[in-house]
Chains A and B, each alone.
Chain A
Amino acid sequence: MNIFRLAGDMTHLASVLVLLLKIHTIKSCAGVSLKTQELYAIVFATRYLDILTSFVSIYNTLMKLIFLGSSFSIVWYMKYHKTVRRTYDRDQDTFRHWFLMLPCLLLALLIHEKFTFFEVLWTFSLYLEAVAILPQLVLLQRTRNIDNLTGQYIFLLGGYRGFYILNWIYRYFTEPHYVHWITWIAGLVQTLLYADFFYYYFLSWKNNKKLQLPA
């Protein structure tokens, strides 16, 4: 464990807690994409399949449980909670996220570290996480609004992967044989996607106008 990875995990934890608290407190999920939340629940479910079979540390298992619990709770709130579900922007959140999953699955079947059931699903979760934010970014562009909690959620979510890139650089230089090209490239693609969002977010903040994401 190194400071970059701890910072990354804490930022990631903060992002899901910010979102969960927002939805739980104001009983509204306006501006939040259910598609992205469903993709994240799938990301965690396929990445943490080994939670019962492999033990790394108390911290590792605890965080996995928190991420699984929070992501499924958010999906549950948005789909089934009597008050929250009414605030969901169904006709704006129309990104075909299932079409994102198929290419990720095919890619995981082609490019992976080991061809085993767990490893292919783990790689699938890595590719899926890189693109999981897309429905949310599309929704933001359509609804033209970005309330600061959703903005913070995306900011933290992007920040966590940025910290992880620093963690991979650190581990590359401090641990012999620590090379995971697949993880590094997927993480880089993901962060670049957020960087793009941040650029337009910063512009809208600086010029004090509505967030305008590119078409």
Chain B
Amino acid sequence: DSPKGFHDEL
């Protein structure tokens, strides 16, 4: 998924 600390969830 996306880089750390990045909100990739809804």
**Interface size in chain A (residues, C-beta < 8 A):** 19
Give Cα A114 to B6, complex, Å. 11
Which residues of chain A are near B6, meaning CB under 8 Å? 54, 56
Q: How many A-B residue pairs have CB under 8 A?
A: 23
Q: Indicate the size class of the contact surface on chain B.
A: under 10
Is chain A's binding surface mostly helix, strand, loop or mixed?
Answer: helix
Which residues of chain B are near A196, meaning CB under 8 Å? none
Per-residue interface assignment for chain B, residues 1 to 10, with 1 indicating a CB less than 8 Å from any chain A CB and 0 otherwise: 1101111111
Tell me whether A122 and B10 are in contact (CB under 8 A): no
Is chain B's binding surface mostly helix, strand, loop or mixed?
Answer: loop
The winner among B4, B5, B6, B9 for most chain A CB atoms within 10 A is B9
Give Cα A79 to B1, complex, Å. 39
Question: Which residue in A9, A12, A60, A113 is a CB contact (below 8 Å) of B8?
Answer: A60
Tell me whether B7 and A122 are in contact (CB under 8 A): yes
Tell me whether A60 and B1 are in contact (CB under 8 A): no
Chain B residues engaging chain A, CB cutoff 8 angstroms: 1-2, 4-10
